[in-house]
Amino acid sequence: MAQVNYQELKKGGFMKQIQKDRFSLRLRIVGGHITAEQLKKVYEVAQQYGQGYIHMTSRQSIEIPFIKLEDIDTVKKALAEAGVQPGACGPRVRTITACQGATICPHGLIDTTALAKEFDERYYARELPHKFKLGITGCRNNCLKAEENDLGVRGGTEVKWDAGKCNFCGLCEAVCSAKVIQVNQQDKKLSFKDTDCIFCGKCVKVCPAGAWQGKSGFIVYFGGLYGKQIAIGKQLEPRLLSNEELHKVVEATLEFFKQYGKQGERFGNTLDRVGWDLFRRQLAAAL
């Protein structure tokens, strides 16, 4: 009987259970998005080859437990019919997570679904010293908790006020979470403390006169951990205003980790060991 390569199986999304020759299959669900037809196929596979249930993971993926060793190839083929692939495990870029973003959510500032697909196509399963998590959240509400990822992206809107269009209705002041806008309706005056703006873009969305204009971009956090160790990711760069800049930063980050990371060491620990200043310089050079 051929020896089972459990490391290769895990790399391909099949994680060994405590039950002999049973595996929990993690699926590749990009940005939490799966079609109804794909979900139907997952249901069929779980019914036929598992134990009739699935597990929803903390990172928007789906796992099908109790897959038999002898059924692995059949399961992969069945899922592939609906365009469903096994997910990545081990020391590599994991499944990309994302909220619904600007195409669905009223608060969204960036197209998180499209960006998650870009990230998946460019970075998914890339080999690294340890697992690497990429997460994308669409706005200041931070539903995907960008700071908990090895590299997290949050949408943000840089705003400007046009006095000539303003009717001084006060709606912008009312919705401003950071309380950096003050409107004097009687004297027709407005003050805006832009240095304390949190880039939520609410003033732009609510303004009936178009006096507030905004340009959406990306706020990036590095080195987050939320497991055996907990660390909040740090924002090192100012807002990035183009996808091109963002991808340059992600590429530079992965290359840095590949160059300086030790096997089994998370990215945040690598930064603490070799120095954040060195990483800052590499990011600056990439831009």
For the chain, give the mean pLDDT: 95
Q: Is domain 6-80 in CATH 3.30.70.3340, yes or no?
A: yes
For residues 110 and 102, is the Cβ–Cβ distance under 8 A? Answer: yes
Q: What does the pLDDT read at residue 15?
A: 95
Tell me whether strands 62-68 and 134-137 are parallel, antiparallel or unpaired.
Answer: unpaired
Q: Which two tokens stand for residue 64?
A: 């099908």
- The per-residue pLDDT for range 72-121, each reduced to its tens digit, is 999 999 999 999 999 999 999 999 999 999 999 999 999 999 999 999 99
Residue 241: exposed, middle, or buried by beta-carbon count in 10 A (0-12, 13-18, 19+)? middle
Segment 17-31 mean pLDDT: 96
pLDDT at 1 > cutoff 70: no
d(CA 242, CA 248): 10
Which residue do the tokens 């060991």 mark?
A: 273
Question: Is the separation of the CB atoms in 223 and 233 below 8 Å?
Answer: yes
Identify which of 153, 152, 129, 160 has the alpha carbon closest to the alpha carbon of residue 267.
Answer: 129
Binning pLDDT at 50, 70 and 90, where does residue 4 land? confident
Write the pLDDT tens digit of every residue in 29-75: 999 999 999 999 999 999 999 999 999 999 999 999 999 999 999 99
Could you tell me the residue ranges of all domains in the chain?
A: 6-80, 97-156+217-286, 159-214
The residues, ordered by sequence, that sit 6+ positions from 184 with a Cβ below 8 Å of its Cβ are 168, 190
pLDDT, one tens digit per residue, over 232-259 is 999 998 889 999 999 999 999 999 999 9
Task: Report the pLDDT value the prediction gives residue 2, as an integer from 0 to 100.
Answer: 63
- CATH code: domain 97-156+217-286 is 3.30.413.10
Architecture of domain 159-214: 2-Layer Sandwich (3.30)
Burial class (CB in 10 A: 0-12, 13-18, 19+), 248: middle
From the list 87, 97, 34, the residue with the least C-alpha distance to 64 is 87
Which pLDDT belongs to residue 119?
98
Find the DSSP H helices in the chain: 6-11, 36-49, 72-80, 112-123, 171-175, 202-206, 243-260, 267-274, 276-286
* Fold: same for 97-156+217-286 and 159-214: no
